[in-house]
Amino acid sequence: MAQDGPASMNLPKVAVDWEDTPKAAYSVFESRTAQNCAAYLLPALQSLKDANPRVALLDVGAGHGSISATLARLIPEGHVTAVDINPDVIPRAKVIAESYGATNISFQAGDIHKLPFEDNTFDVVHCHQVLAHGKDQVGALREMLRVTKPGGLVASREGDMDSEIWWPQTPGMQKAHDYARMLITAHGGGGCSSSGRQLLSWALEAGPKRSQITPSYSVWHFTEKEDKERWGGGMLNVALAGHVRERAVKAGVKEEDLDEMREAWKEWIERDDATLIMVQGEVLIRK
Ligand SMILES: C[S@@+](CC[C@H](N)C(=O)[O-])C[C@H]1O[C@@H](n2cnc3c(N)ncnc32)[C@H](O)[C@@H]1O
């Protein structure tokens, strides 16, 4: 089961409705592609495609679907089914798919804990940064395995917020990290801020033998101005604004701390020497 790491600031928990994410946050998600978020999967996907080009791929928790659409472009004779628990993301995901010229893709609502598919349906079942937002990661992986064909692949990549390091190390950035971590662990009644390091453990608990699992780790960094504007902008416009901020204040987070975090993010976006680095855990499970 998910275990929490240590917290360095004693913040009250704030329930966040990420599904209500304002448009300002779109670019954080929509810059994601199969190439920059699922590179660990691509060689195995190519091998499956070489054996049978009609690859059936399920992307769970697809969100705005830029990873789903770019995966679809890689398997033109195959098909991607993009599923999200929140049906409201589907219209935007369709726009993104069109912008990539991906036509071999369909969208539907569905819960990773109860996928609306028969056993052994897909060659590949993928999720990116979805398990961190729930409580039962092992159950979710078991469900992904259930709908995967024998010989097929489950692929998952999860961030590890507790591994984050950043520069400059100002007090405001430390508070901003603690606050973001609190939002993740409060989500859905208990998300996980150390998913990247626990992913292999969850995969083993889900049932496969160690020899069926290929773990890997990659590093996210936000150092170029454009990337910092996206990430820091997401923090400024979502985590530290609107309904999320209102709920934080109601839960007891001080306005002056929230303002200090906003100033810290603005400075971080502007400074040429600023950076933020986070480990991503990845597993490929052969069923
Ligand atoms: C951080 S976003 C990641 C979206 C996308 N995979 C990406 O990386 O751009 C998490 C997504 O998981 C979805 N989600 C959360 N819980 C889910 C569940 N139980 N079943 C399916 N999707 C879920 C959310 O609605 C959201 O779109």
Which residue range forms the structural domain that includes residue 60?
18-286
The model carries a pTM of 0.91
Kindly state if the Cβ of 134 falls inside 6 Å of ligand 1.
Answer: yes
For 47-106, write each residue's pLDDT tens digit.
999 999 999 999 999 999 999 999 999 999 999 999 999 998 899 999 999 999 999 999
Q: Answer yes or no: is 12 within a domain.
A: no
Q: Answer yes or no: is 221 within a domain.
A: yes
Q: How many CB atoms lie within 10 A of CB 81?
A: 24
What integer pLDDT is reported at residue 7 of this predicted model? 43
CATH number of domain containing 126: 3.40.50.150
Q: Answer yes or no: is 2 within a domain.
A: no
Q: How many CB atoms lie within 10 A of CB 120?
A: 13
Q: Which residues pair with 222 in a beta bridge?
A: 276
H or E stretch covering 140: helix 137-146
What integer pLDDT is reported at residue 5 of this predicted model? 42
What integer pLDDT is reported at residue 14 of this predicted model? 55
Q: Report the mean per-residue pLDDT for the chain.
A: 91
Q: Answer yes or no: is 9 within a domain.
A: no
Task: With a cut of 50, say whether residue 122 has pLDDT above it.
Answer: yes
Kindly state if the Cβ of 32 falls inside 6 Å of ligand 1.
Answer: yes
Task: With a cut of 60, say whether residue 15 has pLDDT above it.
Answer: no
Q: Answer yes or no: is 167 within a domain.
A: yes
Kindly state if the Cβ of 89 falls inside 6 Å of ligand 1.
Answer: yes
| Number of domains composing the chain | 1
For 95-107, write each residue's pLDDT tens digit.
999 999 999 999 9
Q: Which residues pair with 106 in a beta bridge?
A: 81
DSSP conformation class of 95: H
Q: Answer yes or no: is 49 within a domain.
A: yes
For residue 85, how far is its CA from the centre of ligand 1 (angstroms)?
A: 7
User: Exposed, middle or buried, 179 (CB in 10 Å: 0-12/13-18/19+)?
Assistant: buried
For residue 63, how far is its CA from the centre of ligand 1 (angstroms)?
A: 5
Kindly state if the Cβ of 21 falls inside 6 Å of ligand 1.
Answer: no
Calculate the CA 144 to chain-centre distance.
16
Mutate to test the pocket of ligand 1, among 71, 84, 156 (most ligand atoms within 8 A of CB): 84
Q: State percent of the chain over pLDDT 90.
A: 75
Kindly state if the Cβ of 107 falls inside 6 Å of ligand 1.
Answer: no
Q: Answer yes or no: is 83 within a domain.
A: yes
Kindly state if the Cβ of 121 falls inside 6 Å of ligand 1.
Answer: no
Q: Answer yes or no: is 208 within a domain.
A: yes
